[in-house]
Structure 1
Amino acid sequence: MANPAVEAALQAALANQQYDSVAPILDAAELESSNPDVLNQWPHTLHLLGLIYIQQLEDARFLWKRLPIDVKRDNPELDAVWRLLQYFWNQHYQGIWQALQGYQWSPQVRPFVDALVAKTRSDMLALLSEGYSLLSPAKAALLLGVSEGEVAHLVEPAGWKQDMESGMYHTALQQAADVDLEGYENLRQLAQYMVHLES
């Protein structure tokens, strides 16, 4: 990259693990550049990862289309990020985890990928907590990108409880619904009691 200020800002963001700043830094630098060949000497992999990290998948696809063909052809790690983007775009969660965890990322990119793994897992756990009331360990493992044995360590801190008979997990949503029903039942019983006292 030819711009020392942009390079310094990018390295500072990476060093401080401010991964949500990476794409905005590079987007602004690309827009401000007067060099038409700027994308020939660009941290393409970091830029794409940055856009995936902040869930700007459409912008990431347009960036890919702008990249020179020889840049795409000659960079296996960039190709791995492109495949990862496709999995995110298609919401193919098993593919996302395979792409994130199955490639030998370079030392420069590895911490960013690790942060993306943690963020994706946290986002997925929140989605599952909101979208499911009951979930099997196998399904949770598939969607969270872990083995079945590791599921408990992830979901129990989020308030999920496992039914010992069925093995299924009751998510926080299910437990909240159970509490609401319990509150409703208590209110109904109190109302019946009041009616009985008045009669």
Structure 2
Amino acid sequence: MTVNNIDKLAEELERQELEAPTGIASPQVYSQLLAIYLYQNDLPNAKFLWKRVPASIKASTPELAQIWAVGQHLWKSDFSLVYKTLNSVNWSESVAEIMSNVQVVVRQRAVELISKAYSSITLENVQEMTGLLPDVCVQACIEKGWGVDADTKMVYPVREVKEMGAPPSSEDQLYKLTDFVSFLEN
């Protein structure tokens, strides 16, 4: 499932929720939409969706509560519980692919966070933040080009260097400055 498809599905599910004949969408719509919000890292919308789901649907749909449990762990940045919850549930067919993608993007965000925030971190913390087993974690760190000291069990992440685009031309800067000064004068 691509990001573009997920965005389209989210729009469709939001439309279905708004246009539900009784004002209450189906449990599947709520489950899928909540899972997509987690995938998109849109925790505020996930929280508001959870609050507006009728209590009767929450009570009759345990999977919905499990999806929300993942959201709560994400909200608290408790990565170990995120992975534990994701891996302990047999997700229904309607949300299985989305929840699998949630795990992938959470791991990617964790790796990016580690790369930006740490010059050194324990292997145990990397495992906790990525949900990877020790051997897999070491191999993944090495593949990323990070240093791994087996004796001290420390990982030395390398910050990803993103290429900067060409700086704006002098004419573009002058135009923006002129536009701004004109705005201030009016």
Does the alignment reach a TM-score above 0.5? yes
SS at match of 2:94: coil
Shift of 1:30: 3.0
1:48-197 maps to which residues of 2 (within 5 A)? Answer: 48-173=34-159
**Equivalent residue for 1:27?**
14
**Equivalent residue for 2:182?**
none
Contact in 2 for aligned 1:20/1:53 (Cα 8 Å): no
Letter in 2 for 1:124: A
Distance 1:47 1:165 in 2: 45
- TM-score under structure 2 normalisation? 0.76
Letter in 1 for 2:75: W
Shift of 1:17: 8.3
Shift of 1:157: 2.4
Aligned residues: 161
SS at match of 1:162: strand
Contact in 1 for aligned 2:147/2:156 (Cα 8 Å): yes
Deviations 1:68-121 (A, max 9, x none): 111000111111011111111111111111111111112332221111111111
Distance 2:53 2:59 in 1: 10
SS at match of 1:104: coil
Contact in 2 for aligned 1:49/1:81 (Cα 8 Å): yes
Evaluate the alpha carbon distance shift between residue 132 and residue 21 of structure 1 in structure 2; reply closer, same or farther with a 3 A threshold: farther
Who wins on radius of gyration, i.e. which is larger?
Answer: 1
Distance 2:64 2:107 in 1: 22
Evaluate the alpha carbon distance shift between residue 40 and residue 116 of structure 1 in structure 2; reply closer, same or farther with a 3 A threshold: closer
In structure 2, runs of 5+ residues without a counterpart are 162-186
**Equivalent residue for 2:169?**
none
Q: Which has the higher helix share?
A: 1
CA RMSD of aligned residues (A): 2.4
**Equivalent residue for 1:7?**
none
Distance 2:9 2:38 in 1: 11
Distance 2:127 2:9 in 1: 30
Evaluate the alpha carbon distance shift between residue 149 and residue 75 of structure 1 in structure 2; reply closer, same or farther with a 3 A threshold: same
Shift of 1:166: 2.5
Contact in 1 for aligned 2:27/2:57 (Cα 8 Å): no
Letter in 2 for 1:21: K
SS at match of 1:38: coil
Shift of 1:58: 0.8
Aligned residues with identical type, % of pairs: 22
Letter in 2 for 1:119: V
1:5-16 maps to which residues of 2 (within 5 A)? Answer: none
Distance 2:107 2:154 in 1: 20
Distance 2:106 2:3 in 1: 19
Matched, 1:18 2:5: yes
In structure 1, runs of 5+ residues without a counterpart are 1-13, 177-199
